[in-house]
Structure 1
Amino acid sequence: MSDTEAELREELTEAFSNADYPVKNQMGLVPALPNGPSTSFEAGGQSWTAMELATKLSSRAEFPYDNVDDLVDDVIAGLKDEDEL
């Protein structure tokens, strides 16, 4: 795992750990984010807002998510598939 991936994984886990699981859709994640959809995540000189991540990964998401780790795993995998990580 690269430093960038580890850093982003930590940020995502921290942000989404307060969601009310199980999360049935993307809107279920919004209340957990400090700045809602405009919350940004930065790692390795790259930056993504929650809205950008939602748009890029909407076709890959497998809702419902029962825990933060499964959600973060899918976000990371999606970014890798998009060659953004």
Structure 2
Amino acid sequence: MADVEAELRKELLDAFSGADYPVNNQMDLVPALPNGPSTTFEAGGQSFTAMELATKLSSRAEFPYDDAESLVDDVIAGLKDEGDL
């Protein structure tokens, strides 16, 4: 599972590093994603679109985020809490 987490973390960091920080809401992240909300993140046979992640984690997000690392930390923690990682 650690490899899956590391792989997913890298994909998320690569995608969200291009956002214009600070981001105040999920919509601020959309321009950084290559396929917008349809952007897919895959690791260890699991696949999540950006829209699925947004829906699953909307109650856990603590906007604003000042950098990609803190955003991705919360996404990974939320996926773990939900049993998806």
TM-score by length of 1: 0.99
Listed as ranges, the gaps of 5+ residues in structure 2 are none
| Aligned position for 2:54 | 54
Matched position secondary structure for 1:66: coil
Question: Aligned partners of 2:68 and 2:53: how far apart in 1?
Answer: 15
| Aligned position for 1:45 | 45
Q: Are positions 1:28 and 2:28 aligned together?
A: yes
RMSD, aligned α-carbons: 0.8
- Cα distance per residue 1:28-84 (max 9 Å; x no partner): 000000000000000010000000000000000000000000000000000000000
TM-score by length of 2: 0.99
Q: Which runs of 4+ in 1 moved over 6 A?
A: none
| Aligned position for 1:84 | 84
Q: Which amino acid aligns with 1:11?
A: E
Listed as ranges, the gaps of 5+ residues in structure 1 are none
How many residues are aligned here? Answer: 85
